Amino acid sequence: MIMDIRNTPIPVKRALRKLGEDLRNARKRRRIPMQLAAERASISRATLNKIEKGNEGVSLGAYARILFILGMIGRLADLMDSTVDALGMELEAENLPKRIRIPRKEKGR
Protein backbone atom coordinates (compact mmCIF):
# COMPACT_ATOMS: atom_id res chain seq x y z
CA MET A 1 0.00 0.00 0.00
CA ILE A 2 1.32 3.45 -0.90
CA MET A 3 1.11 6.06 1.82
CA ASP A 4 -0.34 9.44 0.87
CA ILE A 5 1.35 11.92 3.20
CA ARG A 6 -0.78 14.78 1.89
CA ASN A 7 -3.69 13.48 3.98
CA THR A 8 -1.79 13.39 7.27
CA PRO A 9 -3.54 15.54 9.89
CA ILE A 10 -1.52 18.52 11.07
CA PRO A 11 -1.54 17.37 14.75
CA VAL A 12 0.05 14.08 13.64
CA LYS A 13 2.76 15.93 11.72
CA ARG A 14 3.45 18.15 14.75
CA ALA A 15 3.63 15.17 17.11
CA LEU A 16 6.08 13.33 14.84
CA ARG A 17 8.20 16.44 14.45
CA LYS A 18 8.33 16.86 18.24
CA LEU A 19 9.15 13.18 18.71
CA GLY A 20 11.99 13.49 16.22
CA GLU A 21 13.36 16.58 17.95
CA ASP A 22 13.10 14.88 21.34
CA LEU A 23 14.94 11.82 20.03
CA ARG A 24 17.67 14.00 18.54
CA ASN A 25 18.07 15.88 21.82
CA ALA A 26 18.18 12.62 23.81
CA ARG A 27 20.87 11.26 21.47
CA LYS A 28 22.91 14.44 21.81
CA ARG A 29 22.56 14.49 25.61
CA ARG A 30 24.05 10.99 25.59
CA ARG A 31 26.85 12.22 23.31
CA ILE A 32 26.10 9.52 20.73
CA PRO A 33 27.17 10.56 17.23
CA MET A 34 24.59 10.11 14.49
CA GLN A 35 26.60 7.44 12.66
CA LEU A 36 27.09 5.36 15.82
CA ALA A 37 23.40 5.62 16.75
CA ALA A 38 22.40 4.49 13.27
CA GLU A 39 24.82 1.55 13.39
CA ARG A 40 23.62 0.44 16.83
CA ALA A 41 20.00 0.62 15.65
CA SER A 42 20.84 -1.24 12.41
CA ILE A 43 19.43 1.56 10.29
CA SER A 44 21.05 3.91 7.81
CA ARG A 45 22.17 7.37 8.77
CA ALA A 46 19.64 8.72 6.26
CA THR A 47 16.84 6.88 8.10
CA LEU A 48 18.01 8.28 11.43
CA ASN A 49 18.00 11.73 9.86
CA LYS A 50 14.40 11.17 8.73
CA ILE A 51 13.43 10.00 12.24
CA GLU A 52 14.94 13.08 13.82
CA LYS A 53 12.99 15.25 11.38
CA GLY A 54 9.74 13.44 12.23
CA ASN A 55 9.28 11.85 8.82
CA GLU A 56 6.05 9.85 8.81
CA GLY A 57 7.27 7.43 6.19
CA VAL A 58 9.74 5.78 8.58
CA SER A 59 8.58 2.52 10.13
CA LEU A 60 7.61 2.31 13.77
CA GLY A 61 10.24 -0.39 14.09
CA ALA A 62 12.99 2.10 13.22
CA TYR A 63 11.68 4.56 15.80
CA ALA A 64 11.59 1.69 18.35
CA ARG A 65 15.21 0.77 17.62
CA ILE A 66 16.33 4.31 18.32
CA LEU A 67 14.33 4.36 21.55
CA PHE A 68 16.03 1.10 22.50
CA ILE A 69 19.57 2.35 21.98
CA LEU A 70 18.70 5.47 23.98
CA GLY A 71 17.48 3.26 26.83
CA MET A 72 13.91 4.50 26.48
CA ILE A 73 12.07 1.54 24.92
CA GLY A 74 9.90 1.21 28.03
CA ARG A 75 8.26 4.51 27.11
CA LEU A 76 7.03 2.97 23.86
CA ALA A 77 5.85 -0.17 25.64
CA ASP A 78 3.78 1.98 28.04
CA LEU A 79 2.44 4.33 25.38
CA MET A 80 -1.05 2.82 25.27
CA ASP A 81 -1.15 1.28 28.75
CA SER A 82 -4.81 0.99 29.69
CA THR A 83 -4.18 2.60 33.09
CA VAL A 84 -3.41 5.92 31.39
CA ASP A 85 -6.24 5.68 28.86
CA ALA A 86 -8.74 7.89 30.71
CA LEU A 87 -11.22 8.05 27.81
CA GLY A 88 -11.09 4.28 27.25
CA MET A 89 -11.63 3.60 30.95
CA GLU A 90 -14.57 6.02 31.03
CA LEU A 91 -16.18 4.42 27.98
CA GLU A 92 -15.69 0.98 29.49
CA ALA A 93 -17.28 2.10 32.77
CA GLU A 94 -20.35 3.28 30.86
CA ASN A 95 -20.83 -0.23 29.48
CA LEU A 96 -20.57 -2.06 32.80
CA PRO A 97 -23.72 -4.02 33.65
CA LYS A 98 -26.11 -2.41 36.15
CA ARG A 99 -26.67 -5.78 37.85
CA ILE A 100 -24.82 -9.03 37.91
CA ARG A 101 -27.02 -12.10 38.22
CA ILE A 102 -26.02 -15.55 39.29
CA PRO A 103 -27.16 -18.14 36.72
CA ARG A 104 -30.01 -20.39 38.02
CA LYS A 105 -27.98 -23.57 37.90
CA GLU A 106 -25.34 -22.06 40.24
CA LYS A 107 -27.95 -20.85 42.79
CA GLY A 108 -28.79 -24.39 43.89
CA ARG A 109 -25.23 -25.41 44.76
Q: Provide mean pLDDT across the span 51-70.
A: 96
Q: Provide mean pLDDT across the span 38-48.
A: 98
Angstrom CA distances, 88 to 80, 81, 92, 95, 98, stand at: 10, 10, 6, 11, 19
| pLDDT of res. 109 | 58
CA proximity to 26, closest of 75, 92, 60, 70 = 70
Report the alpha-carbon distance of residue 39 to residue 17 in Å, rounded.
22
| pLDDT of res. 20 | 97
Reported pTM: 0.75
